[in-house]
Amino acid sequence: MAIIDVKDVYKTYTENAVPVHAVNGVSFSVEKGEFIAIVGPSGCGKTTMLNMIGGLDAATKGKIIIEGEDISTLSPAQLVDFRLHNIGFVFQAYNLIPVLTVKENIKFIMELQHKHKKEAEDRVKYLLEILGMKDKIDVRPKYLSGGQQQRVAVARALASKPKFVLADEPTANLDSKSTETLLDLMAKMNKDEEMTFIFSTHDQRVMDRAHRIITLEDGKVIDDSRKMRG
């Protein structure tokens, strides 16, 4: 069964009485464990699409069904809860909480979920180990480089083992070393924990690692192709 089903979704913004069709009849479904890159020219609707899947924005028309549930039927409070327990978000800017240390930032979601403390701490150590940032565990974000901050942001999104991760141009501001480390981690989570990933990106390095590439143009899917695994 598909974990995400996007069914003929439209999103129309009205800017100064002029309708902008940001997403214009998009359909696709996502299976558990997929590693998807959504690509396309600027303004084609990538961010809008991800926001709608993440319940941050509502579709004008069409349905987004996640694990059998139409998310348009959820109240704002239920949506927050839904995001907390199902989705890991990675934003283009790092967006860490500045007053919390690396460890506290990564634990943040697990604490909102009331995860067991020991389990959370182990998870933090495990992820930082992979990211090569164990020595930064008690450091605050402002003492980290951009690349390091984004690694922590990704660790925060992955730590609670969400059903899927939505990442809007996560590597846009990163050097190739950081990009590689991040992609390695995500690929590992995808493989080890069958975590599902959906990216939007302009970055060739990300596209190279994706198993499936959905190409949008003017709010429509113009191509949807799976690579041969292996």
Ligand X SMILES: Nc1ncnc2c1ncn2[C@@H]1O[C@H](COP(=O)(O)OP(=O)(O)OP(=O)(O)O)[C@@H](O)[C@H]1O
Residue 173 is a binding residue for other proteins (CB under 8 A): no
| Least distance (Å) between residue 163 CB and other proteins | 13
Residues 22-51, interacting with other proteins (CB under 8 A): 51
How does 104-124 read in b/e, with b if 16+ C-beta sit within 10 Å? bbbbbbbeeeebeeeebbebb
The residue range among 14-22, 112-120, 138-146, 151-159 that interacts with ligand X, by the rule CB under 6 A, is 14-22
Binding-site ranges for Mg ion (CB under 5 A): 47
Find the angle CA(16)-CA(18)-CA(21) to the nearest 5 degrees.
125
| Partner that binds at residue 222, options ligand X, other proteins, Mg ion, none, CB closer than 5 to 8 Å by kind | none
Distance CA 110, CA 103 (A): 11
| Least distance (Å) between residue 45 CB and ligand X | 4
Least Cα distance to 187 among 34, 40, 48 occurs for 34
Residue whose CB is less far from Mg ion, 33 or 43: 43
| Partner that binds at residue 224, options ligand X, other proteins, Mg ion, none, CB closer than 5 to 8 Å by kind | none
The residue range among 46-54, 62-70, 97-105, 140-148 that interacts with ligand X, by the rule CB under 6 A, is 46-54
SS3 readout for 31-87: ECCCEEEEECCCCCCHHHHHHHHCCCCCCCEEEEEECCEEHHHCCHHHHHHHHHHHE
Residue whose CB is less far from ligand X, 137 or 172: 172
> Which token pair is 122?
């182990």
Residues 136-155, interacting with other proteins (CB under 8 A): none
Q: Which of 34, 46, 148, 174 binds ligand X (CB under 6 A)?
A: 46
The residue range among 40-48, 65-73, 123-131, 151-159 that interacts with ligand X, by the rule CB under 6 A, is 40-48
For the beta sheet containing 35-39, the strands, ordered from the edge strand earlier in sequence to the opposite edge, are 87-90, 164-168, 196-200, 35-39, 212-217, 220-226
Estimate to the nearest angstrom the gap between the alpha carbon of 119 and the chain centroid. 23
Contact criterion met (CB below 8 Å) for 34 and 197: yes
Residue whose CB is less far from ligand X, 150 or 160: 150
Task: Give the interface with ligand X as residue ranges (CB under 6 A).
Answer: 13, 15, 20, 22, 42-48
Task: Give the interface with other proteins as residue ranges (CB under 8 A).
Answer: 51, 54, 56-57, 77, 80-81, 83-85, 88-89, 91, 95, 97-100, 108-109, 111-113, 156-157
